[in-house]
Structure 1
Amino acid sequence: MVMNYPQQLPWMKINDFLLYIESLSDSKNFSMQVIQKLHTLIPYDRFSVFYVDSNGKLNDATIMGADEGWIERYFDYYSKLEQGNYSLLEKLNDGSSSKIKVKSRDWTESKPNEFITDFIRPQGIKHSVGMMLHDVNDYSCIVFTLERTKLSKYHASDIDTLSIVQPHIENLYRKVLENGPKISKKDKYAKLRDVLTKREVEIAGLLCDGMTPRMISGKLYLSLSTTYKHIANIHTKLDVSNRQELILKLIEMKDGIYQQS
């Protein structure tokens, strides 16, 4: 179905954005480069990027302009309110065959409830828009949220613009994953064995299972800061620059990880 978009959309900016993302050739910092460039199309006051695995479990989150504690409280409690009505994935993907990949919310017009009163308003969030990317297997892999605390609400033109660029970003993301470096299972196993300590291998395996750093801390009876230090060491040893790339690499290495734990 051909979509008829209004002529007043920022077509030159959209074109510049698409040319820019086409220059991205690897998974390192992919999401950060995309969301930073998105600001030229759709200004925001703060953002969050969430990485989920094939089971829909949160692997990691990158945020700008918000306290990490709010994110932890969201996933531990608020996302489960009202039968998951405010779940990040539920808001963008209703489970139907036609997946919603872009959605906006005007929180100033929302009826007050526990989520609005205790989570949204204390952070000063007035408007938000979300975008979801799926990998080649159509799993939910990355969710972007752009939030406004001072700027005016998102208009229909903003949503149309995001809807136009979303499939291009998604296709590029899939291409980036498919064209990543191919390493044999034997080499992957040897690399983990050579560079990671026993504890790091254990933590890597738990990350592959979709556990968050806080969950890992509780399971292994480690302080959260110690867990983060181990994860940072894994980053360095496996030559990755963020946990998005780390998770992708560890999922490929999963067999080797579990043989070592």
Structure 2
Amino acid sequence: MAPSANIPWQEIYDVTLACGNVHERKAFSVEVLSQLKKLCDFDESLVYFLDGNGKICNQYLMNIDKHWSTMYLEYFSKVEGSFKIKNVRENSTKPMMNIRAWNEESSSDFISNYIRPRNLQYSLGFVLFDINGRPRTIFALDRKKDENFSEKEVEILNLIIPLLNNLHKNFFSQKTVSPGAEHISWETANLTPREIEVVNLLCKGVSPASISETLHISQSTTNKHIAHIYEKMHVSTRQELIVRLLG
């Protein structure tokens, strides 16, 4: 089916341009949600970030209490054993997008304990992939009003998601990793005792300024330790560091 004549091409261009100006994956995903609100109405959103093995390494919630995400992951873990995306690969001809009409779903504990209390009526999910075709970021756009996503909204998303997916791939191709770097772990990085202290605090979400206070060292010394840690672990952000340490 040919695209409709009333597709807002200028808005799609503006959204793509705005998202393309963000150069960190989580910030990019937040911008995607902000921009999509201009083209597709939704009340809440949940984003899961996956590592190369399909396991969650981070999340972002928009208008959703963390309690609901925890409940969702616990439910999924009971059913599947763990929250891990299996056997999902990129389809180059069409975006991976799915709409669930919750009032048409069969009754279950999941519906009774998770969907109904949140008053969800419809959810639209889509996936963005890395350069190897592996799923790396999952979006769920939730609606509470009893009105399904329109054909025009779906058509717009079918056009814009491939563009966002191409931008998303850049987060996995920005730097060349030296041979063997993908096998670097906590045990093989040769971190000093002080660097291990800093790593522990970084992984707990402690800011560099607070690390300086905790370890009674200057801010510049803390920054040097962090730079050395990133260099040894072949990463450039805290998120990459945590994923590397989790193996």
> 1:130 maps to what in 2?
125
Letter in 1 for 2:49: Y
Q: Does 1:144 align with 2:144?
A: no
CA RMSD of the aligned region, Å?
3.8
Q: Which consecutive residues of structure 2, in runs of 5 or more, have no partner in the other structure?
A: 212-222, 231-236
Superposition TM-score, scaled by structure 2 size: 0.70
> Equivalents in 2 of 1:192, 1:62: separation in Å?
33
Q: 2:206 aligns with which of 220, 229, 232?
A: 232
Q: 2:43 aligns with which of 35, 41, 45?
A: 45
> Equivalents in 2 of 1:61, 1:48: separation in Å?
7
Question: 1:28: Cα distance to partner?
Answer: 6.1
> 1:167 maps to what in 2?
162
Aligned to 1:157, the other structure's residue is in SS state helix
Q: 1:57 aligns with which of 55, 58, 79?
A: 55
Aligned to 1:169, the other structure's residue is in SS state helix
1:27·1:180 contact (CA, 8 Å) conserved in 2?
Answer: no
> Equivalents in 2 of 1:143, 1:61: separation in Å?
9
Letter in 1 for 2:150: H
Q: Does 1:118 align with 2:92?
A: no
Q: Which has the larger radius of gyration?
A: 2
Pairwise mapping of residues 1-261 of structure 1 onto structure 2 (< 5 A)?
Answer: 4-27=2-25, 29-78=27-76, 80-81=78-79, 89=85, 95=88, 98=91, 101-150=96-145, 152-179=147-174, 195-197=195-197, 200=200, 204=203, 230-233=204-207, 245-251=237-243, 254=245
> Equivalents in 2 of 1:18, 1:120: separation in Å?
32
- Structure-2 change in CA distance of 1:97 and 1:176 (3 Å): closer
Question: 1:195: Cα distance to partner?
Answer: 4.9
Instruction: Encode CA deviations 1:175-206: one digit per residue, 9 max, x unaligned.
Output: 243225979979xx5888765516707x85xx
Could you say which structure has the higher helix fraction? 1
> Equivalents in 2 of 1:199, 1:136: separation in Å?
29
**Highest RCO, 1 vs 2 (Cα 8 Å, sep ≥ 6):** 1
Q: Percent identity over the alignment?
A: 22
Instruction: Encode CA deviations 1:44-72: one digit per residue, 9 max, x unaligned.
Output: 11111101111111112111222211111
1:78·1:115 contact (CA, 8 Å) conserved in 2?
Answer: no
Q: How many matched pairs?
A: 216
2:123·2:140 contact (CA, 8 Å) conserved in 1?
Answer: yes
2:89·2:134 contact (CA, 8 Å) conserved in 1?
Answer: no
